[in-house]
Amino acid sequence: MPEHLNEDVLVFCDSDTAFIRPFGIDDFLISGKPGLLDVDYQSPDVHRWTDTACALFGLDVADVPVRNHVGNMICWRRDIALAMLELIRERGNRKWQTTLLKQSSISEYMLYGVFVRSVIGYEAAGHVPSTIPLVKPSWEHDIKSSAGLDEFFSEFEPETIAVMLHSKDNVPVTEYRHHLERIWASTDPDGPITT
What's the CA gap between 12 and 135, in Å, rounded?
Answer: 12
- Is 0.85 surpassed by the pTM of this model? yes
* Strands 73-77 vs 128-130: parallel, antiparallel or unpaired: unpaired
pLDDT tens column, 133-148: 999 999 888 898 899 9
Amino acid code (one letter) for 157: E
**Taking all residues of the chain, what is their mean pLDDT, rounded to a whole number?**
93
Mean pLDDT, rounded, for 160-188: 91
User: Residue 187's pLDDT band (boundaries 50, 70, 90)?
Assistant: confident
pLDDT tens digits for 66-77?
999 999 999 999
Q: Is the pLDDT of residue 129 over 70?
A: yes
The pLDDT of 50-77, averaged and rounded, is 96
* Strand ranges inside the chain, DSSP E: 9-13, 17-19, 29-30, 33-37, 73-77, 128-130, 135-137, 162-164
Say which amino acid occupies 137: P
Enumerate the domain spans of the chain.
9-18+31-130, 135-187
